[in-house]
Structure 1
Amino acid sequence: MVALWWIKRDFRLDDNAALHTAMQQGREVVPVFFLEPAVYLAQDASAFHLQAQLTALADLQFSLRAIGAELLIVKADLPEGFAQLKQQLDFSCIYSHEETGAGVTYQRDIAVAAWCKSENVLWQELPQSGVIRRLASRDKRNKIIAERLFDSEPLDAPSRISQPNLQYLDLFNIPPLHELAPQLLDERISWPSVQVVSERRAQRTLDSFLRERSLNYRGGISSPNKAFFFGSRLSPHIAWGTISLRRIFSRLHQRLSELEAQLDAGNESRLAQRWQKSLESFSSRLFWRDHFVQRLESASYMEFRALNPAYEVLQYTQDTNRLSAWINGKTGFPLIDACMRCLQATGFLNFRMRAMVLNFACFGLHIHWRDLQYPLARVFTDYEPGIHFSQVQMQAAIVGINTIRVYSPLKQLIDQDPECQFIKRWVPELRPYTAEQIACHETMPLPGYVPAIVDAEQNIRIMKDRISHIRKSDEGREAAQRVLVKHGSRLKPKKTKAIPAAELVCGSQVDMFD
C-alpha cells in the first residue's frame, strides 16, 4: 500500500506528525510537494513566499536523500495534481497537516476532500499547533493546547522511509524562482538580506536564540535596529513549518530549567533572572500566536469582511494614490517610509513597526483595511494568514473588543530610532540631515524628500471619532459582545514549568512578530 505525505506548511522531518502517522501505518510513504500556480500566484503571494518554500524544499530533499528516500515535486493545481499522480502512482492514502490558510487554500482543500471521496482515497489531516478545527468553545482550548504542545514529546526524525521504486517518474527537479514565476521578481528585494528558510537553518536559529541572542529579547524587539538580531527570527520557520512549535517549546523548557538551576545554585543570579524573564516573554508570544490563528480558523470569512460586522459601514478614502505612496515608502513620514522600504528589501520588520505602519495607514491615511491586506502580506517572508488577517483588523481597531490604539510615527521615531539610524539606512535622501531635522520634517520640509502627503493628526482625529461612534452604538456593543464570546482569549490555566508564560488577558497587546 502506498501513502502520500502531502507537504504543505511542514518542510521538516523532525516532529512531523503527518509523516510519522503515515509510517506508523506500515505503508510505503512517498513525500510530495505540489507547486500550485493558483497558490503561488494568488493575490497574497510573493517572491518572498515562493523562495522560502523552494529553499525549504531543497533542504528537505537533501535530508530525505540522506536516509535513502526521494521527494516528488509536481507542478499542478489541486486536485488535478493528485489525479495526474494517481495515474502514475497508485496511492490509497494521503497524510498531511491541517492548514489555516487564506481563501485560495481553503477552497483548494475543499476540492481535494471532494476528490478523495470520489476516488475512495483516505485523507487524514493531523494538527501541528494549538489551532483547533471545529472548535465549539474557546473555553476548551487550553486543555487541548496543553495536550498537543506540552504534555507530549516531540517526534524524532525518521532514520529510514520505506518507498516504492520512483525513478521512472522523473519528478525530482526543483525549479528556480526566476524560471517558475519570473513575474514575482522585484528589483527592490535584497536577497542577501532575506532570511533563509530551511529545517537546518531553523535548528541553528533556535540554538543561537536560546543560548545567545535571547538575553536582550525584552526591550530589544521593540527597536527596528535591534530586532534583526535580538528577535528570535523564528517566525518564518514557524510560518513555513521548518520547525514545530512543540519542538520550540520543548527546547525552551530545557533552557528555562537550566536557568532555574542556576538561580537555585546562586550562580550569576542577575544574569539568569534577566535571561529567564526574556524567555518567558518569548513563551507568552508563542502562546498568543495560535490565539490569533484560531480566529481565522473559526471565521474563514475574515479575509473578506470584518469580524465585527458593525464596522462594515466605516468610511475610508477613495484616493488610490495614498496606497501606492504607503506601500512604496513615499508618504513623507520618515519612519513609515523607512519601514516599508525595509520590508520591500528584506521581508522582515519587527512587530511594533508592523503594527505602526498598518495602524497609520488606516488612521493617518484613511486607507481601507481590505486594501492593505494583500500588499502587506506580499512583503512578509513570515506571512501567516491567521495572524495577518487578525492583526489587520486589530490594528484598524475594527474588532471592537480591544482598546483603540493609535501609533504616532514621531513618538516611535523618538523612542525607537532617536539617532535615525534605521531611517537613514532605508531612506537615503534623508542621510544629509540631522536627527532633529528629520524629526521636525512635518513642519519644516527637507529638500530632496517628499513632503507629508496628508495632515495625519487631523485624519487620526476623524477616524477615531468614526470608530468611537460605532463602538458606542447599540449595534456596536452587541456585535462586540458576540465577538468576545466567540473569539476573545481566555485566561490560561495555572502556570506550569512547561508553560512559563504570563497570564493571558483578553484585549492585551503583545508583540507576536519578533
Structure 2
Amino acid sequence: MRALWWIKRDFRLDDNPALQAALASCTYLIPAFFLEPRVYLAPDASAFHLQAQLTALADLQSSLRAIGAELLVIKADLPEGFIGLQQQIAFTHIYSHEETGAGITYQRDIAVARWCKQQNIMWYEFPQSGVIRRLRSRDNRSQIIAKRLLDSEPLPPPTHIPQPDIRHLNASVIPPLDALAPELLDKRIHWPSVQVVSERRAQRTLDSFLQERSLRYRGGISSPNKAFLCGSRLSPHIAWGTVSLRRIFFRLHQRLNELEDEQESGVDNLLAQRWQKSLESFSSRLFWRDHFVQRLESASYMEFSALNPAYEALEYTQEPARLAAWINGETGFPLVDACMRCLQATGFLNFRMRAMVVNFACFGLHIHWRDLQYPLARLFTDYEPGIHFSQVQMQAAIVGINTIRVYSPLKQLMDQDPDCQFIKRWVPELRPYSPEQIACHETMPLPGYALAMVNAEHNIRIMKARISHIRSSEPGQESARQVLLKHGSRLKQKGRKTGGASSITTPAINQIDLFGD
C-alpha cells in the first residue's frame, strides 16, 4: 500500500501523529509538499509566510534524507497536483493533519475530499492541537484537550521511512523565494531580523526559553522592546508546525517540576517562584491559543462576517487613505507608526502592541475591521488564521461578550516605551526629539514628522457610543447570548487543574493576552 504524507502546517518529524499513523499502516510512504500558487498568492499571504515555509521545508528535507527518505516538492494547486502525482506513483492513501485555515485552504480541502471520494483514495486527518473538529459543545472541551496534550507523551521522530524509488520524478528541488514569487518581495523587509522557522530552530528556541529567557516572561512581554527576548518566540514555530503543542507542554511540565524541586530544596527559592509564575503565565496563553482557533474551526464564516451578526450594522469611515497610512506607519501617532514599521521590517510585534494597533485602527481611525485583516495578516510571520480573525474582531469590540477595551497609544507609550527607545528605532524622524516632546506630538506637532491624521479622542467617543448602542439593544443582547453559548470559554476558576499534568493549569476566563508572546 502506497501512501502520501501530505505536509501542510506540520514541518516536523517529532511528535507528528499523521506521520506516525501512516508509518504504522502503510508499506510505502512518500512525504509530499505542494507549493500552491492559489494559497501563497492569496490576499492574506506574504513573503514572511512563504519564506517560513521554504526554510522549514529545507530543514525537513535534510532530516528526511538523514533517515534515508526523500521529499517531493511540487508546485501545483490542489487537487490538480494530486491528480498528476497519482498518475505517476498510484498512491491509495493520504495522511495529513487537521488544518484550521483561511477560507482558501478550507475550500481547497473540500475539493480534495471530493476528489479522494471519486477516486476511492482514503484520506485520513489527525488533530495536532486542542482544536476539535465538529465540536458540538464546549462543555467537555477541557477534558478532550487534556487527553490530547497533557495526558500522553509526545511521539518520537521516526528513524526510517520506507518508500519506493521516486528519483525519476525529479521533484526534490526547493525553489528560492525570489524565483518562486518575486511579486511578494518587499524592500522594507529586513531579513536578518526575521525569525527563521524550522524544526531545529524550534527546539533551540524552546530550550533557550525554558532554561533562560522565561524568567523575565511575566512582566516583560508587554514591552515592545523587551518582548523580542523575553517572549517565548515560539509562535511562528507553532503556527507552521515546526514544534507540536504536546512537545511544548511536555517540556514545560518537566521544567516546572525542576523548579518545584528547587523550591523544596531551598536553593534560590524566590528565584524559582518567580520563574514558576512566568511559566504558568505562558501555559495559560497556550490554552488560549486553541480557544480562539476553535472559533474559526466552528464558525468558518468569521473571516468574512462578524461572529456576532448584530455588529454587521456598525458604521465605519470608508477612506482608503486612512488604511494606507495605518499599514505604512504614517498616521502621526508615534507608537502606532513605530509598531507598524517594526512589523513591516521584522514580521514580529508583541501581543499588547498588536492589540493596540488593531484597536486604534477601528476606534481611532474608524477603519473597518474587515478592511484591515488581510493587510495585517501579511505582516505576521506567525500568521495563524484562527487567532488572527478572532483577535481582529475581539480588538474591534464586535464580539459582544467581552468588556469594551480601548487602548490609548499615548498611555501605552508612557507605560511601555517611556524613553521612546522603540519609537526612535523605527521612526527615525523622531530621533532628534525628547520623549516629552514626542508624547505631546498630538497637540504640539514636531517638524519632520506627520501630523496626527485624526482627532483620535473624538473618534473613539463616537465609536464607543455606536458599539454601546448595539450592545444594549435587544438584538445585540440576544446575539451575544448565542455567541457566548457557542464560542465562550467554560473556564470560571483561575488556575483550575487540567488532566494529569499537576503543574500545568488552564487560564482564568479574563486572561485574554496570547500570541506574539
Which range, TM-score by smaller chain?
over 0.9
Q: Residue 92 of structure 2: SS of its match in structure 1?
A: strand
C-alpha separation in 1, matches of 2:172 and 2:460: 54
C-alpha separation in 2, matches of 1:503 and 1:92: 41
1:481 match: 481
Question: Are the structure 2 counterparts of residues 136 and 453 from structure 1 closer, same or farther at C-alpha, using a change threshold of 3 Å?
Answer: same
Q: Residue 74 of structure 1: SS of its match in structure 2?
A: strand
1:62 match: 62
8 Å contact from structure 1 (residues 397, 404) kept in 2? yes
Question: Are the structure 2 counterparts of residues 470 and 33 from structure 1 closer, same or farther at C-alpha, using a change threshold of 3 Å?
Answer: same
> How much does 1:177 deviate?
0.3
2:402 aligned partner, one-letter code: N
1:312 match: 312
8 Å contact from structure 1 (residues 310, 479) kept in 2? yes
> How much does 1:495 deviate?
4.6
| 1:445-488 Cα deviation digits (max 9, x unpaired) | 00000000000000000000000000000000000000000000
8 Å contact from structure 1 (residues 46, 378) kept in 2? yes
1:109 aligned partner, one-letter code: D
Matched, 1:180 2:175: no
Question: Are the structure 2 counterparts of residues 39 and 69 from structure 1 closer, same or farther at C-alpha, using a change threshold of 3 Å?
Answer: same
> How much does 1:318 deviate?
1.1
> How much does 1:500 deviate?
3.9
RMSD between superposed Cα atoms in Å? 1.0
2:513 match: 510
C-alpha separation in 2, matches of 1:232 and 1:500: 19
C-alpha separation in 1, matches of 2:266 and 2:446: 55
C-alpha separation in 1, matches of 2:511 and 2:150: 23
Matched, 1:494 2:485: no
2:170 match: 170
Matched, 1:135 2:135: yes
1:108 match: 108
- What is the percent sequence identity of the aligned residues? 76
C-alpha separation in 1, matches of 2:256 and 2:34: 39
Matched, 1:354 2:354: yes
1:459 aligned partner, one-letter code: N
1:336 match: 336
1:78 match: 78
1:38 match: 38
User: How many residues are aligned here?
Assistant: 514
C-alpha separation in 2, matches of 1:433 and 1:146: 52
Matched, 1:429 2:429: yes
8 Å contact from structure 1 (residues 489, 505) kept in 2? no
Q: Residue 219 of structure 2: SS of its match in structure 1?
A: helix
C-alpha separation in 1, matches of 2:30 and 2:102: 26
Q: Residue 91 of structure 1: SS of its match in structure 2?
A: coil
| 1:125-173 Cα deviation digits (max 9, x unpaired) | 0000000000000001111101100111100000111010111110000
8 Å contact from structure 1 (residues 364, 460) kept in 2? yes
2:432 aligned partner, one-letter code: P
8 Å contact from structure 1 (residues 93, 121) kept in 2? yes
Question: Are the structure 2 counterparts of residues 403 and 339 from structure 1 closer, same or farther at C-alpha, using a change threshold of 3 Å?
Answer: same
8 Å contact from structure 2 (residues 285, 507) kept in 1? no
Alignment of 1:423-462 (within 5 A): 423-462=423-462
Q: Residue 60 of structure 1: SS of its match in structure 2?
A: helix
C-alpha separation in 2, matches of 1:133 and 1:398: 25
Q: Which stretch has the larger CA shift, 139-148 or 491-500?
A: 491-500
Please report the TM-score for the alignment, with normalisation by the length of structure 2.
Answer: 0.98
- Contiguous gaps of at least 5 residues in structure 2: none
8 Å contact from structure 1 (residues 100, 293) kept in 2? yes
C-alpha separation in 2, matches of 1:212 and 1:506: 29
Question: Are the structure 2 counterparts of residues 410 and 326 from structure 1 closer, same or farther at C-alpha, using a change threshold of 3 Å?
Answer: same
- Contiguous gaps of at least 5 residues in structure 1: none
Question: Are the structure 2 counterparts of residues 494 and 255 from structure 1 closer, same or farther at C-alpha, using a change threshold of 3 Å?
Answer: closer
Q: Residue 93 of structure 2: SS of its match in structure 1?
A: strand
Question: Are the structure 2 counterparts of residues 507 and 306 from structure 1 closer, same or farther at C-alpha, using a change threshold of 3 Å?
Answer: farther
> How much does 1:506 deviate?
3.7
> How much does 1:188 deviate?
0.2
2:228 match: 228
C-alpha separation in 2, matches of 1:120 and 1:84: 16
2:298 match: 298
Matched, 1:403 2:403: yes
Q: Residue 5 of structure 2: SS of its match in structure 1?
A: strand
1:101 aligned partner, one-letter code: G
2:190 match: 190
C-alpha separation in 2, matches of 1:506 and 1:481: 16
> How much does 1:499 deviate?
5.9
> How much does 1:512 deviate?
3.0
| 1:278-332 Cα deviation digits (max 9, x unpaired) | 0000000001100000000000000000000000000000111000000000000
Q: Which stretch has the larger CA shift, 22-31 or 296-305?
A: 22-31
Matched, 1:209 2:209: yes
